Structure 1
Amino acid sequence: MTLSACVGFSDDGGMSIVADVAGSRLEKDVLAIRTPEDAASARARVEHLLSRALTADSAVQIALLDNRGLQAEYNALGSAEAAMVKAILPPNPSFSISRIAGPLKLELEAIIAADILALATLPARAEIAADRFHQAQLRAAEETLRLATRARKDYYRAVAAQELVAFLTKANSTAESAAQLARALGETGAMNKLDQAREQVFYADLTAQLAKARQRSIAEREQLIRSLGLWGADLDFRLPAALPAPPSRPNNMPMVEQEAVARRPDLFVAGTELDALAKSYGLVEATRFVNVFQLSGIYKDTREIVTRVSSDGTIDTERVRFRVFGPGATIEIPIFDFGEARTREAEQNFLQAFNRLAAKAVEVRSEARLAYQTYRSAWDIANHYQREILPLRKIIMDESLRRYNAMLIDVFPLLAEVRQRIMANIAAIEAKRDFWLANADLRAAVIGGVETRVEEAPVSRMDAIGQ
């Protein structure tokens, strides 16, 4: 009774670690929706964020408040806390009663038994249960970080797809004008059939690319909707016209491996599993010869009709009642199973967890290195397009147009430059998108929440345009 009085559920349902991780690493709020008041609070916050154009940070916050899959993970955390409380509580005593009645005898037996071995090992089992609950908290925190990464990357993809559609729409109009000009020049004999066909196929290919880009924009927006958990009237949210340009300087992270090892929740989960299995292995070692050990109190009430014959031949009957109280014990005798199988299983489970922890550490280090290298390469490429290629293409286009207006060149170099500039702008949009995706992957590789997704083929097909 004293032990059971010290056990109870936490006020926040185990959400303290999840809230700390979200606050310190994401600078966002999390909420386990368990009451109508919680639901109303989350809804008001989501509506406020949807009232303006979304940013990457607001998209992440909406996902953390409105995604029902994440709420299901928080429900699993509540179940894990209930399992911990159940494991910490002492075992309930058992009560059994039996009644045997015959022609001349009535016997009533009652037994109250308690598992003494379970009581003796309760502190060790309580520590293991606490480790398991802590593990569940870390898993919930990891799922929170993973959803944040997914929402952020889906936001970047959706905005980039929308930006690409807007640019291709303008480029398609330009290509259509060029194709009409080529057709008119062909009718006058000023352009041969080969050059006409090149302009026509460029316009046709760009039209197909625009259709694909529109379809991909719809798909990316729907993926963002799923990550945010939106439906109904909330689907009419606004996205910015374009992604921001990459920063002027990349982040310098020489200790990226060490940071990832020190901060990744999934690595902590593996370490907690190792601790729990180590304690479980020690418990099995201590109890390998004894599986069941119960003490009991026995009460036995016997009522019997006794017949006696006196010396004079008289027959008397008498009701006799016997009451017996006493202790009892139940213990398993290790004749066939000496606990070796249980000990070997616990040992192998511990070694398995140890090797998984070592493998996870290697994986985390590799993911951090790769994410940083990808981030730096993506920054170099995106920055190269923004600072070198696009400005040069603009200079070339302006000079070509000036020379054409001065009748120093004909229309053919001008049309070729239009095609090249369109291709460069498409590549620049994709490079900017890839940088922000790499930036999100780098954050996830360091703080947790690695989200993998198979990338589709680029929309632009730049190798085919203008061929």
Structure 2
Amino acid sequence: MKTLILRRSALAALPLLLSACASLPPDGGRADLGQLLSARGEMLPEDKAEAEIAALVASKMATPLSAAEAVAIAYLQNPRLRAAYARLGLAAADVYDAGRLSNPRLSVEILFGSHLSGDELTFGLSQSFTDLLFLGKRSKIAGAAYASATAAAAQDILDVAAEVQTAYVRLVAAQQTALMRAKIADAARVGSELAGRFHDAGNINRLTLAIEQAAASEARLASLAAEAEAQAARDDLNRLMGFRAAASWTVTAELQLPDAADAPLDGIIAGALDARLDLVARREGIRARVVALGLSRDLRWLNGADISAAHQREDGDRQRSGPALSVELPIFNSGKGRVARARAELQRAASDLADAELAVLNSLRAGAARLTAARARAEEYGATLVPLRAAIVARMQEEVNFMLRGPFDLLRARNDEYEASDRYMAALGDYWIARVDLARLAGGRLPDVAAETPASDIPAAMDHDMQHHMDHGDHQ
């Protein structure tokens, strides 16, 4: 009897010993998440109280925001990232639960006897033997699921970072475009006013006046549209940074084109399949399904097995104790369906991974082509067209000074220069957006390049010599 009691005690203590090996991941998994992000050039902020977050955001808003600072604010306030942290916490809880046995079940049975026979009292303690036997495999499945969830949460964070960077570039480009369109509208207004004075003096006909006035109206409409687009871009970035209402912040003034050439495509593709966290999440999901398939096979013949110990006490201080084992007999259902389902899920996950890898490779090539084309356009504008338009204005000014050309020719040349600078700004925006997209496709940051070449100086709305000549031409 003493031996039986010792074995029963050891059986009761075994779940406690095994459960002690499982614990919740620290910080709800944020440390693991931070490691994945730091390997890809992003830093996950520390978990802070609301007051600390507000103070930190206010300090960043005191000066013009860079793209990196806008991303840092989004990391602190964007609701989608908070949801990603919560999903990671759920996965961490699943790991904890999977690493522990189910709780033992205590049963009590009382049989009331007649006046000839006494009452019987039976105590039973049962534990799932299947949980005990396959605890390791269940822990592996949960661990792979947790790794997949961590990678997926990190990918969500990188996606939001890419969206913030894209919105930042669009805002800067939209502000530059709005400024340029305002200058174009100003030049067109001057031309329209000058045409009105020339018409009043009898130097031009009504048709020429209407043409100049229509051009001024179209330029004004384009300027208003550019202002609205800049405001929409600001609102988009404001939302991504997690501000509920319009906040007071500014961004840097202009975009720049890097001097150094972009990294070759071969080097980007080589590491993309390993760096892409969505692919990492899929691979971890496959690893979990491989273990799940093996578990399904094991459970075909041993499913629903329980071990228990019972203690019975009768009147007259008679007591009996002993162990028990119950096993589900696989007579009507041998578990072939579960095995087939697990095998099919594994095959589907492997096929999805192959399809995703193929899509990544093709998207990388397309993204690299867009980046190359955008850089070529920006270089052509900045190195050739914009300087040529500026030179034309300078030569036109000389001819106007010698009365070889009229002031309207100079106005058109100046407007062409503005238009070229406007398209140059748009090409710069396209380049940086293509660069952000390629970095996202590659699974992280691209190799850094020095952005030392500033955008071409925006031409003045109206220089002194031009205004002087217009006044002089009007007098003539």
- Report if TM-score (shorter chain) is over 0.5: yes
CA–CA distance in structure 2, aligned partners of residues 121 and 24 of structure 1? 34
CA–CA distance in structure 1, aligned partners of residues 289 and 53 of structure 2? 38
CA–CA distance in structure 2, aligned partners of residues 54 and 293 of structure 1? 62
Compute the displacement of 1:426 (Å).
1.8
**Contact 1:250–1:379 (Cα < 8 Å) also in 2:** no
Compute the displacement of 1:103 (Å).
5.9
| Cross-structure match for 2:284 | 272
Aligned counterpart in structure 1 of residue 253 of structure 2, from 214, 237, 241:
241
Q: CA 1:381–1:86 in 2, change beyond 3 Å: closer, same or farther?
A: same
- Structure 1 unaligned runs (5+)? 304-319, 451-467
| Cross-structure match for 2:373 | 377
Compute the displacement of 1:40 (Å).
4.7
Name which of structure 1's ranges 163-172 and 100-109 shifts more when overlaid on structure 2: 100-109
Aligned counterpart in structure 1 of residue 69 of structure 2, from 50, 55, 58:
58
CA–CA distance in structure 2, aligned partners of residues 340 and 29 of structure 1? 45
Encode CA deviations 1:335-362: one digit per residue, 9 max, x unaligned: 2211111011000000001101111110
| Cross-structure match for 1:430 | 426
CA–CA distance in structure 2, aligned partners of residues 339 and 82 of structure 1? 28
Compute the displacement of 1:187 (Å).
3.1
CA–CA distance in structure 2, aligned partners of residues 117 and 262 of structure 1? 37
**Contact 2:84–2:153 (Cα < 8 Å) also in 1:** yes
CA–CA distance in structure 1, aligned partners of residues 62 and 375 of structure 2? 32
Aligned counterpart in structure 2 of residue 360 of structure 1, from 335, 343, 356:
356
**Contact 1:31–1:42 (Cα < 8 Å) also in 2:** no
Aligned counterpart in structure 2 of residue 13 of structure 1, from 8, 17, 28:
28
CA–CA distance in structure 2, aligned partners of residues 368 and 287 of structure 1? 43
What SS does structure 2 have at the residue aligned with 1:290?
coil
The one-letter code of the counterpart of 1:261 is L
CA–CA distance in structure 2, aligned partners of residues 385 and 400 of structure 1? 20
CA–CA distance in structure 2, aligned partners of residues 391 and 30 of structure 1? 45
Encode CA deviations 1:78-131: one digit per residue, 9 max, x unaligned: 221111011011221111223344665644333211100110001111111111
Aligned counterpart in structure 2 of residue 387 of structure 1, from 383, 387, 396:
383
Hey, which bits of structure 1, 4+ residues long, moved more than 6 A?
none
**Contact 1:371–1:441 (Cα < 8 Å) also in 2:** yes
| Percent of aligned positions that are identical | 27
Compute the displacement of 1:200 (Å).
1.8
Encode CA deviations 1:426-465: one digit per residue, 9 max, x unaligned: 2111111111111111111112499xxxxxxxxxxxxxxx
| Cross-structure match for 2:410 | 414
The one-letter code of the counterpart of 1:111 is G
Encode CA deviations 1:393-442: one digit per residue, 9 max, x unaligned: 11111111221121001234223323322322221111111111111111
CA–CA distance in structure 1, aligned partners of residues 349 and 47 of structure 2? 30
Name which of structure 1's ranges 287-296 and 322-331 shifts more when overlaid on structure 2: 322-331
**Contact 1:32–1:74 (Cα < 8 Å) also in 2:** no
| Cross-structure match for 2:222 | 209
Compute the displacement of 1:283 (Å).
0.9
What SS does structure 1 have at the residue aligned with 2:257?
coil
Mapped pair 1:165 → 2:178: yes
Aligned counterpart in structure 1 of residue 136 of structure 2, from 102, 123, 126:
123
| Cross-structure match for 2:461 | none
The one-letter code of the counterpart of 1:373 is A
Aligned counterpart in structure 2 of residue 333 of structure 1, from 312, 326, 329:
329
CA–CA distance in structure 2, aligned partners of residues 404 and 5 of structure 1? 90
| Cross-structure match for 2:309 | 297
Name which of structure 1's ranges 183-192 and 197-206 shifts more when overlaid on structure 2: 183-192
CA–CA distance in structure 2, aligned partners of residues 183 and 407 of structure 1? 20
What SS does structure 1 have at the residue aligned with 2:106?
strand
The one-letter code of the counterpart of 1:254 is L
**Contact 1:77–1:137 (Cα < 8 Å) also in 2:** yes
What SS does structure 2 have at the residue aligned with 1:14?
helix
| Cross-structure match for 1:224 | 237
CA–CA distance in structure 1, aligned partners of residues 86 and 445 of structure 2? 19
What SS does structure 1 have at the residue aligned with 2:306?
strand
| Cross-structure match for 1:462 | none
CA–CA distance in structure 2, aligned partners of residues 9 and 269 of structure 1? 20
Encode CA deviations 1:231-261: one digit per residue, 9 max, x unaligned: 46x8111222222x21123313232211211
The one-letter code of the counterpart of 1:252 is A
Mapped pair 1:154 → 2:167: yes
**Contact 1:290–1:332 (Cα < 8 Å) also in 2:** yes
Name which of structure 1's ranges 341-350 and 263-272 shifts more when overlaid on structure 2: 263-272
Encode CA deviations 1:124-171: one digit per residue, 9 max, x unaligned: 111111111111111121112111111111111111112222222222
What SS does structure 2 have at the residue aligned with 1:251?
coil
Mapped pair 1:250 → 2:261: yes
What SS does structure 1 have at the residue aligned with 2:322?
strand
Q: RMSD of aligned C-alpha atoms?
A: 2.2
TM-score w.r.t. the length of structure 2 is 0.84
CA–CA distance in structure 2, aligned partners of residues 40 and 298 of structure 1? 57
TM-score w.r.t. the length of structure 1 is 0.86
